[in-house]
Amino acid sequence: MARHAVMVRQLCVLQPFAPDTCPPLLVRVEAVWQTSGALAFSFGLRPGPGWDSLEGLRCPSRTGHPQRRDGLWQHTCFEAFLGWPDSPRYWELNAAANGDWNLYAFSAYRSPPELVDLPQAPRIQLRRQARDLRCDIELDLHPCWPEAMQPEIGLAMVVEDQGGRLSYWALSHPGDQPDFHDRRAFLPT
């Protein structure tokens, strides 16, 4: 089996917006961008100090066929932002633990979103154990994304606890409110 050339591979740690009000978690994300237009993300969660397991998180398992849905960020949601270099344009990928997903295109910061049609839905796999949770997301952006154009990548996550409280995790939080669309928090190309 032939391997695709890797253009970018990045391992990152996500930071909570308000550490004092969120679950103590260790959240790591690996992002792999291939020259073929394939993109893969692997979100890994482990309990931090004071927690023995991830049982306090609300992370529903797959119950049926994954659907394209809006509003996934209102619950536990794995997110990736893909910015066009030297342009205000970007895409937002939302993936839920149950396999539901959506992909939006923005022409500028928080402009009205448009749906991006992919030839194939993203592959989302959740693996849960007592002390860790992993969500792997793979999608092929070819031919929708300009060939060989390396995106600026923003990685983020919304975590819902069993009480319905949300916490916001990202590479950084440059503003005074959580804002995953803020390009200052994206990885440079």
How many angstroms from the chain centroid is the CA of residue 142? Answer: 19
Q: Higher pLDDT residue, 170 or 49?
A: 170
Question: pLDDT higher for 3 or 34?
Answer: 34
Of the listed ranges 59-68, 110-119, 155-164, the one predicted with least confidence: 59-68
Domains by residue range for the chain, with CATH = 6-58+68-185 (2.60.40)
Interval 156-169 mean pLDDT: 96
pLDDT, tens digit, 9 for 90 and up, residues 120-148: 999 999 998 878 999 999 999 888 888 77
Confidence of residue 50 (pLDDT cuts 50, 70, 90): confident
What percent of the chain has a predicted confidence (pLDDT) above 90? 75
8 A C-beta contact, residue 103 and residue 91: yes
pLDDT value at residue 145? 86
Average pLDDT over residues 168-174: 98
Whether the per-residue pLDDT at 1 is higher than 50: the answer is no
Distance CA 138, CA 84 (A): 20
Tell me the two tokens of residue 44. 């890994």
Give the model confidence (pLDDT) of 61-111 as tens digits: 877 889 999 999 999 999 999 999 999 999 999 999 999 999 999 999 999
d(CA 189, CA 187): 7
Q: Does residue 8 have a pLDDT over 90?
A: no
- 183: tokens are 């390009």
3-class SS string, 122-166: CEEEEEECCCCEEEEEEEECCCCCCCCCCCEEEEEEEEEECCCCE
